[in-house]
Chains A and B, each alone.
Chain A
Amino acid sequence: MTSGPDKVVVRIDHDLEEIVPGYLKNRWNDVEAMRNALKQGDFESLRVLGHRMKGSGAGYGFDAITEIGRGVENAAKTSQAGEIAQGIQDLVAYLERVEVVYE
């Protein structure tokens, strides 16, 4: 399978095929939730959202989401809004480019 130069190809066990689309859709919900929380300065919610992404991403096969989640969680602990905004932006960019291949 080929993909465009801006695509990120992730290979995932076909056992998880049923739940991966839902997982990615939930991350778009996270983007929305994080933006709202950031606007309101709700760093605790941001920490929890980051913590969950960190714990789940690699489990589904998305190592990058784990990394982004770790960054958001750590930034939220020290209330670094800039770092968090960057994390949200990285997540959006990743979600837009990620292409899943089941094998």
Chain B
Amino acid sequence: MKILIADDSQDDRLLLETILNKAGFRDLVFADSGPAARAILESAVAIPPVGLVLMDVDMPGGNGLETLVLLKGADRFRHLPVIMVTGQADVQDVVRAFERGAVDYITKPFNRVELLARVKSVIALEEANQKVRHSEKRLRDLTSALGEGLASLDAAGRLAFLNPAGEHLLGRSEAELLGREFHQTVHPDGRGCPIAAIGAAETDAGCPLEGAGLHPGQVRVGETRLVDAGGADFPASYSLVALVEERLVRGAVVAFRDITALKRDEERLRLAASIVRNSQEGVMIVDPGTMCIVDINPAFTFITGYPREEALGRKPSLLHSGRQEAEFYRVLWAQLERTGRWQGEIWNRRRDGELFPEWLSITALRDPQGRTTHYVGLFTDITTRKRMEERLQHQAHHDVLTGLPNRILMTDRLGRALAQARRDKRQVGLLYVDLDGFKPINDTHGHGAGDAVLREVANHLGRLIRASDTAARVGGDEFVIILGGVQGEADVTAVADKVLAALSRTFWVDGRACVVGASIGIALFPRDAETGEELLGRGDTAMYQAKREGRNRYCIWQRTADPAALSADERQMALGYDDGL
């Protein structure tokens, strides 16, 4: 350790140098006055720094006591131990030296044994102090690096130490709070916490820390509200542990942190969880590693029928209906990987086996590094919507009264039948059916009776044809039957005969007899026409021909009886003839 000797007497400096050198203290520097001593302490000569000063009290040109005061007032030298050197009779000097921060004193003339004993003793003390200061600095450095506040309390619950993070959180310096009761930083809302209880217990006999329920070996953790210097309170988590010496609680350490952001995040998470829980949409969360379901919401269970305990840990294929091909899923996953999103309609299977359509939206959740952490599937059961769509679709293409396809759907079916026939090189037969004697039923018995007859007729027509054929209502009492894949005219006339037989009868409506018949025009594709429209026209023409020939029969369109030659009058006559009955 470097020792500075400040003495105006060269003889004394030399004597001290010799005695200390012989005792092994070789790192010595000298000053002959107080100012010279301070100059050395502040200069490069003092590197490594001086660890001990021997300072003569009585020096001309710089009193030792004044220099001592200046040193102790400077932060750099506050901890530097100074041994004052005084005359034997100068008791007052000794008292003043101790008052001003001297660590010890030595009297002149020097007693070698006493001198060395005191120097060694002070050096040992200083080394111990340096260790403590170093340890304390290390503790402060460590606790400074902590993001959380750290406070040490004495047995009475008063602050003995506060790290910088604690100062920042409480808005007060350690110096301001030293010796203050730490429980005063707890907001009244946090009364129930053990930190606050330290204050409440203080009035009782015994250790307030134990009064607060803090016992050796026990760690109390929880949340409370603390107050900063401005009076603003904030939520804080804390950990309170007793400092124990000889089995007695001698103090406590409180670690605390501001959890405002955490609380806000928790609240947002709670809200998000609540939204998911109460959503009408089914939610399914899948782990990308195991591809197993890790979470679902109640709507998932409501829609699929799978309770939570049955769904978790299973793969989403649990719901597979088998209605989508492997290719469908391949495309789905490819898009999900590429864009992080997929949505569309998919058929799944409920727990009870029922298939149902759902609108599914899958999102890949990714972390900042772009790795997928979860897949989230949101789905809605669209069974009702699908049914509604189907009904609208049906209504748009079917006759409301009879339930048969209407003209729109008939035209479509006819087009398809023709296309199929071209491919198969077969024929399509078309029967244009117009009821005979229908108008009088309406006129005599009312529209209700007419409607009933039409429904009956529709039922009969439906029964007469194959499922692959079409019977449509295309006008008030006009029907068209499309027969696909026929071999020739005989197949068609056979059906026409059945139709005539089925309709040439009396229908009973509310006890009243309604007699109708049918005039049928027949045309064949491709023999009689090249397009659907043309084929329909040929059927219509042939139907009028049947009317003309006396009703309740069929006529096969013939090119020789050119439909274009039929005059408007003749047409009117045929209809009038009909209407007259």
Q: Which residues of A contact B (CB under 8 A)?
A: 13, 15-16, 18-19, 22-23, 26, 48, 51-52, 54-60, 66
Contacts and interface: CB of A to CB of B under 8 A. Distances in A.
A89 to B, nearest CB: 21
A57 B110 CA distance: 9
The interface centre, meaning the residue of A48, A52, A56 with most chain B CB atoms within 10 A of its CB, is A56
B12 interface: yes
B15 interface: yes
Closest 10 CB pairs of A and B: A58-B109, A55-B108, A59-B109, A59-B110, A56-B11, A52-B9, A15-B22, A59-B15, A19-B14, A56-B12
B87 A19 contact: no
A13 B109 CA distance: 16
B87 A54 contact: yes
Given A23-B11, A26-B11, A51-B58, A56 B108 contact: yes
Given A59-B108, A59-B109, A16 B11 contact: no
Contacts of A48: 60
A13 B60 CA distance: 31
Interface string B31-60: 000000000000000000000000000101
Contacts of B110: 58-59
B219 to A, nearest CB: 60
A25 B109 CA distance: 19
B30 to A, nearest CB: 14
B133 interface: no
B109 A56 contact: yes
Contacts of A66: 109
B15 A19 contact: yes
Contacts of A55: 9, 12, 87, 108-109
A59 B12 contact: yes
B149 to A, nearest CB: 55
16 contacts: A15-B22, A16-B19, A18-B18, A19-B15, A23-B11, A51-B58, A52-B12, A54-B108, A55-B9, A55-B12, A55-B109, A56-B15, A56-B108, A59-B15, A59-B109, A60-B11
Contacts of B19: 15-16
Contact residue range for chain B? 10 to 19
Interface of B: 8-12, 14-15, 18-19, 22, 58, 60, 87, 108-112
Nearest to B86: A55
A23 B15 CA distance: 9
| Interface hub of B10, B11, B108, B112 (most chain A Cβ within 10 A) | B11
Contacts of B11: 23, 26, 52, 56, 60
B15 A60 contact: yes
A52 to B, nearest CB: 5
Contacts of A18: 18
Given A15-B19, A26-B10, A59-B108, 9 more contacts: A15-B18, A16-B15, A16-B18, A48-B60, A56-B109, A58-B109, A58-B110, A59-B110, A60-B109
A18 B11 CA distance: 12
A18 B9 CA distance: 18
Nearest to A55: B108
Q: Most chain-A Cβ atoms within 10 A of its Cβ — which of B58, B109, B112?
A: B109
Contacts of B112: 13, 59
Contact of A54 (B18, B60, B109): B109
Contacts of A23: 11, 14-15
Given A13-B112, A48-B60, A51-B58, A56 B18 contact: no
Contacts of A26: 10-11
B265 to A, nearest CB: 74
